[in-house]
Structure 1
Amino acid sequence: MTGSPVLTRPSVDPPAHPRPAEGAARRPGRTARLRRRNLWIYAFLLPTFVLYGMYTLYPMIASYWYSLVEWNGFTADQRFVGIENYRAVLADPMFWSAVRITLVFMLIVAPLRVFGAFFLAILLNSPKLPFSAFFRTMYFLPVVTTTAIVGVVMRFVLDPASGPLSVLAQLLGLGSIDLLGSSSTALATAALVYVWKFFGITLIYWLAALQTVPRDLYEAARIDGAGAVQTFRHITLPLLIPFLLIITVLTVEDCFHAFDLMQTMTAGGPFFSTEIIEIYIYRYAFAATIPQLGFASAAAVLFGLLVLVVVGIQLWVTVIARRSGVRA
């Protein structure tokens, strides 16, 4: 007896479709979490934005308006005078003297910081030097010290009557030394103190740049029989030229901000021999019997243009140097 064939229904898998309900539930939840996270980020950044706007952006913008008015800062009366403040500043010989002193100060400080820190970084970067971490820390310690405090302390150290340097000179029979009281030595003395104060920053720049040089190149040069001078000339120096340009720009720009040290050490004296542009602006804006905020603001705007010109010249020289290097 043969049984009748059993008819089976073919199994057909249902087409795979995404679950719209589950996907729709996940996306809004994820979006909400991202939104909450971004809100927290903006909440923590808000105080920085507010303070930066109040104490940096607003004074910068307001100085342009103040440079066009005559205002003593005490009354609400502001008389619009246009470019008269700029004409007065440009006609003042003391302004050009402050410009010259600022540029001389920069020409003293920048080479000492850039090239002095470069050669010291080469020594401290050597793995054969013992206590290299200790020396790096010692050179960086003056950077974390308040600049105004450094100026006050150095003024005491260089005091011609009771300062340690003058006392030591008298013991050696050299007589009293008044480096800050002489117009021929005050600027150079303040510049050297400024170099010592911020030398550690430039040193850190160079140490970071040296870390970018691959060690494989040094090992290959050593295998080929290259000496220390040849390795420095053909490997280290070419790879550090881009960093030299960047560090020089940063150092030169930093040299224009020596107000706190110069004010506490010399206050622009003696006989205005150390009056940089920042002290010149401060003298008319705050130290005068009747402040001239419009005049001081015009000087500040011109000072900003001077910084832009100097940085622009550096960038132009950088472009020329790079093009010459590519052609060579």
Structure 2
Amino acid sequence: MISERDVLVSATPSARDRKRRLGRQQLWIWVLLAPTVLLYGTYTMYPIIASYWYSFVEWNGFTAEKTWVGLQNYRDVFADDLFWNSFKITILFMVVVVPFKVILTLLLALLLNSPKLPFSTFFRTAYFLPVVTTTAIVGVVMQFVFDPASGPVNQMLMKLGVIDAGVSFLGDSTTALWTAAGVYVWKWFGITMILWLAALQTVPDEVYEAARIDGAGAWQLLRRITLPLLKPFLIIITLLSFESALKVFDLMLTMTGGGPFYATEVVEIYIYRTAFSATVPQLGLASAAAVLFGLFVCAVGLFQLIGIRSAQKARQAQ
């Protein structure tokens, strides 16, 4: 006669069955991950690793011959005034756009977060729409928008009497970088705005209610409650904005191509021009510049990590 215990033992999977089932699950995980791992390794990891090797050789990218030159490419990069010019423009662009983007989006998020504002959902969607637009398309369209002869920006300014003749915003070395900066802020405005809106949702309504009972006005609520509680988010959002401001290759290439007279040539365009657009391509020199720029980006990422940890500690201390 079969006892209840025997039935339970027979119904319980053995250790071998559990191990076999776990093995099948892990196999399916790797099968499903294989395309991503293959593509990521081929188009991301391999180029990164290969660029370190290319930075030590002299190669034009067309011949099979690669001449080992050691650190000579790095010496040439450090001695190239155009590299330092592109590095200066990259830093200047980053320092200019980040405060504008962070402060303006904060002000807009405070406005859109107000329950008294009608059509707030519509405005949030409208400000976020440029984010989902392809950056290369934005760059091409902006060439027509800022066209000195028939562009709507110049036409409007002339009708308002601000200017007498069309201004080549993208063709003048004194205005090209600032025009590109304005387009960049407009393009990525929505992302930072959403981050601020998410941060504002973390402020408890009970705190506002208690402050209102004590007689606090709108300005006091903003100064004494909202802004202090947003300080940890300010660190994170600012660091994220600094890092994203380094990735402007597609926008700059389609809008200005790095010109005029290298006025908008950020480091990414310098690398591209040296590797592919020069009369004699120099992949070794371009790879050395890419490695140095990559180390700079890693340093920014390190500051980001330190800032996030500081923000977490500040948040826990509140």
In structure 1, distance between residues paired with 2:7 and 2:253: 72
* 1:225–1:265 CA distance, 2 compared to 1 (3 A): same
In structure 1, distance between residues paired with 2:133 and 2:152: 21
Instruction: Give the structure 2 partner of residue 238 of structure 1.
Output: 228
Residue 258 of structure 1: which of 230, 245, 248 is its match?
248
How far off is 1:247 after superposition?
0.8
Summarize deviations over 1:193-226 as a string: whole Å, max 9, x none: 0000001010111111111111111111112221
SS at match of 2:188: helix
* 1:109–1:282 CA distance, 2 compared to 1 (3 A): same
In structure 2, distance between residues paired with 1:155 and 1:140: 22
Percent of aligned positions with the same letter in both sequences?
A: 60
Q: Is 1:169–1:177's contact at 8 Å kept on the other side of the alignment?
A: no
In structure 1, distance between residues paired with 2:291 and 2:68: 17
Residue 77 of structure 2: which of 89, 93, 96 is its match?
89
Q: Is 1:166–1:177's contact at 8 Å kept on the other side of the alignment?
A: yes
Alignment of 1:223-234 (within 5 A): 223-234=213-224
In structure 2, distance between residues paired with 1:302 and 1:136: 39
Instruction: Give the structure 2 partner of residue 103 of structure 1.
Output: 91
In structure 2, distance between residues paired with 1:91 and 1:72: 20
Give the letter for the 1:132 counterpart. Answer: S
Matching of residue 157 in structure 1 with residue 155 in structure 2: no
How far off is 1:311 after superposition?
4.2
Residue 288 of structure 2: which of 289, 295, 298 is its match?
298
SS at match of 2:279: coil
In structure 1, distance between residues paired with 2:266 and 2:35: 33
Summarize deviations over 1:172-204 as a string: whole Å, max 9, x none: 442212111111111000000000000101011
Instruction: Give the structure 2 partner of residue 120 of structure 1.
Output: 108
Instruction: Give the structure 1 partner of residue 267 of structure 2.
Output: 277
Note the residue ranges of structure 1 that are not aligned, 5 or more in a row: 1-14
In structure 1, distance between residues paired with 2:198 and 2:307: 24
Q: Is 2:145–2:151's contact at 8 Å kept on the other side of the alignment?
A: yes
Residue 63 of structure 2: which of 75, 78, 95 is its match?
75
* 1:265–1:46 CA distance, 2 compared to 1 (3 A): same
Instruction: Give the structure 1 partner of residue 183 of structure 2.
Output: 193
SS at match of 1:193: helix
Instruction: Give the structure 1 partner of residue 193 of structure 2.
Output: 203
In structure 1, distance between residues paired with 2:130 and 2:84: 32
In structure 2, distance between residues paired with 1:172 and 1:19: 90
How far off is 1:314 after superposition?
5.8
Summarize deviations over 1:278-325 as a string: whole Å, max 9, x none: 010010101012210000000001111222334445666777899999
SS at match of 1:267: coil
In structure 2, distance between residues paired with 1:314 and 1:41: 32
Instruction: Give the structure 2 partner of residue 138 of structure 1.
Output: 126
Instruction: Give the structure 2 partner of residue 148 of structure 1.
Output: 136
Query: Which has the higher mean CA deviation after the structures are superposed, 24-33 or 197-206?
Result: 24-33
How far off is 1:22 after superposition?
1.4
Q: How many residues align?
A: 315
Alignment of 1:208-223 (within 5 A): 208-223=198-213
Instruction: Give the structure 2 partner of residue 5 of structure 1.
Output: none
In structure 1, distance between residues paired with 2:62 and 2:227: 56
Give the letter for the 2:114 counterpart. Answer: S
Give the letter for the 1:220 counterpart. Answer: A
In structure 1, distance between residues paired with 2:118 and 2:263: 43
Query: What TM-score does the superposition give when structure 1 sets the normalisation length?
Result: 0.88
